[in-house]
Amino acid sequence: MNISRRSFLASAAALTGCRLLPPFKEGNWIDAHVHVWTPDVGKYPLARGHAVSDMRPPSFTPEQLFEHCRPEGVRRVVLIQMSYYRTDNSYMLDMMRAHPGVFSGVAIVDENAPGVAGTMAGLVRQGVRGFRIFAGREKNLSEWIGSQGMAALWKTAAELKASVCPLINPDTLPLIDKMCEWYPDTSVVIDHFARIGMAGGFKDDDVRNLLRLARHPKTHVKASAFYALGGKKAPYLDMGPLIRQVRDAFGPQRVMWASDCPFQVDPGHNYHDSIALIRDRLDFLNEQDKAWMLRGTAEKVFFA
């Protein structure tokens, strides 16, 4: 008996409990990781410890982003609060309001501040769907990730149906693994493959620690920041084996593509080469893989 590819995919989806996305077609993609900022530091002051000279490029507004993403069929974007502003999420929130339906947001909060749960709830009411965490200057990573404030953040994120979004190096993966065990109801999105390959190679132990997170059903990975990983040179085909391993371990329903603009459009790199790696250049990705990684996963996590 002959069976069409689409019928086969639909049957497989029913058996595995995975939603079948519309057929792969160009456009309506989601970029799951972009930073925006403005040179107007009078209205949007920089956080203590940051100077105008730190802003490179000096400006990256939504309008500048659209020049790069819209020609590639990207229509929605997840904004990630920029470190220049620290916990003042005002500019990101204002841009979300200025472009309704276009942006979701990932905010930064001080997990050790009094009333952090209320702060998080207020941000979720304004369209925030995730909270970024990073070690900063903390020397003892286990004390940082295991602090009372971090416990409150992870617990509250689960209650609010928001995600915890760790910006980490590979050495922190075992600690994130432990937090996923302690907070199984919390959605987690690992930024930039946990920066595996930032030093130029993909260490087997680091990759194993990342793939180990796949056993936590609410953990996701961003396939992003290609300009900064591995060979750091377009067309980034050396990223293919890592992307394939992550796709195989997590399934495409838990992998999302992102550019990490504006850094992806620094000299020597461009937006097209970032999305083209997933959309056009990896022959092991089928149409459903691409549909999930370029739209479905980010839609489910950040726009539902």
- Chain segment 68-98, per-residue pLDDT in tens: 999 999 999 999 999 999 999 999 999 999 9
Long-range contacts for 42-46 (Cβ within 8 Å, ≥24 apart)?
44/85, 44/88, 44/90, 44/91, 45/88, 46/84, 46/85
Q: Burial letters for 146-169: b for 16+ Cβ neighbours within 10 Å, e otherwise?
A: eeeebebbbebbbebebbbbbbbe
**Are the C-beta atoms of 78 and 30 separated by less than 8 Å?**
yes
Q: Average pLDDT of 48-55?
A: 96
Condensed to tens digits (0 to 9), the pLDDT of residues 195-230 reads 999 998 999 999 999 999 999 999 999 999 999 999
Determine contact, residues 200/176, Cβ cutoff 8 Å: no
Q: Taking residues 151-174, what's their average pLDDT?
A: 97
Q: Tell me the percentage of the chain whose pLDDT exceeds 90.
A: 88
Q: What is the pLDDT, as a whole number, of residue 17?
A: 47
Residue 72 lies in a domain: yes
CB atoms within 10 A of CB 111: 21
Residue 20 located in a structural domain: no
The confidence band for 112, taking pLDDT boundaries of 50, 70 and 90, is very high
Domains held by the chain: number: 1
Burial class (CB in 10 A: 0-12, 13-18, 19+), 49: exposed
- The pLDDT, as a whole number, for residue 24 is 56
Task: Write the DSSP string, 147-206.
Answer: SHHHHHHHHHHHHTT-EEEE---GGGHHHHHHHHHH-TTSEEEEGGGGGTTTTSS--HHH
Average pLDDT value over all residues in the chain = 93
Is 125 among the domain residues? yes
33 in a structural domain: yes
Residue 49 pLDDT level (bands cut at 50, 70, 90): very high
**pLDDT at residue 289, rounded to an integer:** 98
Q: What is the pLDDT of residue 22?
A: 62
Residue 15 lies in a domain: no
Give the pLDDT score at 23. 59
pLDDT digits (tens, 9 = 90+) for 20-34: 666 556 679 999 999
Is 146 a domain residue? yes
Q: What is the pTM of this model?
A: 0.92
Half-sphere exposure of 2 (CA within 13 A, CB side): 1
Residue 284 has a pLDDT of: 98
Query: What is the rounded CA–CA span in Å between residue 84 and residue 279?
Result: 32
Flag whether 17 is in a domain: no
Three-state DSSP class for residue 135: coil
What gap in Å lies between CA 199 and CA 216, rounded to an integer? 27
82 φ/ψ angles, rounded to the nearest 5 degrees:
-85, 140
Instruction: Report the 10 Å Cβ neighbour count for 92.
Output: 27
The CATH number of residue 272's host domain is 3.20.20.140
pLDDT band, residue 302 (cuts 50/70/90): very high
pLDDT reading at 18 higher than 70: no
Q: CB neighbours (10 Å) of residue 284?
A: 11
Residue 79 lies in a domain: yes
pLDDT tens per residue, range 113-161: 999 999 999 999 999 999 999 987 777 899 999 999 999 999 999 999 9
Q: pLDDT by residue (tens digit) across 181-199? A: 999 999 999 999 999 999 9
Structural domain of residue 256, as residue ranges?
28-303
Pairwise CA distance, residues 63 & 48, whole Å: 27
Helix locations, the chain, DSSP H: 5-16, 62-69, 90-98, 116-125, 141-145, 148-159, 173-182, 204-212, 240-250, 271-279, 287-291, 297-298
